[in-house]
Amino acid sequence: MIYGNILNYMPKICNACSNRVFSHGYCKNHQYLRLDRNVIIITPQLINKISPKLRKRTTEYTKLRIPFIQNNPLCRANLINCTKITTDVHHMKGRGKYLLEVATWLPVCRNCHHRIELFPKEAKELNLSQSRL
């Protein structure tokens, strides 16, 4: 025969799924199913969800945000479907370098905040947002 045994040329398939074998009959995701004692466990390297610098800024923001909302209980946007009660802080110049600048904040309800984010041109015309440049 010219082709020989075709099984010698086929890639080995994991015993638990249809992925290619990594070691001892299982793919990387199913190494824990191995019955022998020398189990290869691949642990993913954990990445911080938030950097220490951003964590510090977020903590400062929260400390400023709560009294801001308490001192400004009414929504200042008054757009369609406004609930009139402040629940959010809209950052008129964006959150980047202006995250902690209270002068660029606008107390808004959830509905108005959603509309401001969905329609940025309309928000700029109504002076609810400012250029981020």
Reported as a single tens digit per residue, the pLDDT across 26-47 is 888 888 887 775 656 677 778 8
pLDDT value, residue 5: 56
The rounded distance, in Å, linking the Cα atoms of 104 and 90 is: 8
**What is the model's pLDDT at position 91?**
94
Mean pLDDT of 8-27: 82
One-letter amino acid for residue 34 of the chain: R
Token pair belonging to 75:
């929504």
Rounded to whole angstroms, the Cα distance separating 7 from 76 reads 72
Q: Are 129 and 116 in contact (CB under 8 A)?
A: yes
Asked if residue 18 has pLDDT above 90, the reply is no
In angstroms, the CA 56 to CA 127 distance is 30
The pTM score is 0.62
Q: Which of 15-19, 28-32, 83-87 has the highest mean pLDDT?
A: 83-87
Q: What 3-state class would DSSP assign to 121?
A: helix
Q: What pairs with residue 20 in β-bridges? A: 13
SS3 content of the chain, % helix, strand, coil (to 5): 35, 10, 55
Q: Mean pLDDT, to the nearest integer, of 35-62?
A: 81
pLDDT of 63 over the 60 cut: yes
